[in-house]
Amino acid sequence: MSEAPKTQRTGLARALSKLGFCSRTQAFSLIRSGRVRLNERPVRDPETPVRLGKDRIEVDGKQVDPAGKVYLMLNKPRGLVTTRSDEKGRKTIYSLLPDYSDWLAPVGRLDMASEGLLLLTNDSNWGARIASPGAHVEKTYSVRIDAVADEALLHRLRNGIRTGDGDLLAAKRAGILRLGKKNSWIEIVLDEGKNRHIRRMLSQLGIEVLRLVRVAVGSVQLGDLPKGKTRPLTDKEKEALARKK
């Protein structure tokens, strides 16, 4: 007779995260403050082994069940930080999510001065696949700069620019959207996500970014979603992103 498969064990903090209740960092805090019980016993060690699907976990006396999976897009306004809380007291994107009490994590980030399409989910495996550098999911940006773009500039962006600290920053594709007398809108497509990639790349050329809007992640378009609003991803959008290699 074959042996029954062993129940997989995981640490208590990670279990709370996998159930979609909160982040691992938040789970550590909840456990250490004595608010979590495992099989009706208080536990203060975040690494306590848990058998997911068998053990009973409670937070503040309420049983934690697997959260329904949530997949959202947000049109992030300028001036918000992409964190749940900020040590400097700045307003965060979570001020725009009052209808979602479950823990949602951003898939990638947009800096405080940037705006546009931001994905959020409580499906950590799905989010990790999309955010992984190896996935090479394209991100498309509309960028307003304080210079009149030409083919020479686009060529330099596509070929890559070496920063003072040795980073090579390049656009996968770059093109002109609109030209003005003193500034212009250009489109930049990245398939990697280095910190402040576009701003640093253009800064090396003495060009200031006046506005930076992410308009697409893979085939998912921001479209006409109003600023500060969210909408669920469609099944087709979720599957298209998950399939991207």
- Tokens encoding 134: 């190896």
Phi-psi region of 179 (alpha: psi -120 to 50; beta: other; left: phi over 0): beta
Give yes or no for a contact between 71 and 121, defined as CB atoms under 8 angstroms apart.
yes
Residue with tokens 């500039």: 153
In terms of Cβ atoms closer than 10 Å to its own Cβ (0-12, 13-18, 19+), residue 159 is: exposed
d(CA 170, CA 167): 10
Beta bridge partners of 231: 73
Question: Are the C-beta atoms of residues 93 and 82 closer than 8 Å to each other?
Answer: yes
Q: Roughly how many angstroms between the first and final C-alpha of the chain, as a whole number?
A: 41
Which one is catalytic: 111, 123, 165, 167? 111
**Active-site residue, 60 included:** no
Report the run of H or E that residue 44 belongs to, with start and end.
none
CA distance 163 to 205: 10
User: Burial level of 22, CB count in 10 A (0-12/13-18/19+)?
Assistant: buried
Rounded distance, CA 37 to CA 64, Å?
10
- Catalytically active residues are 111
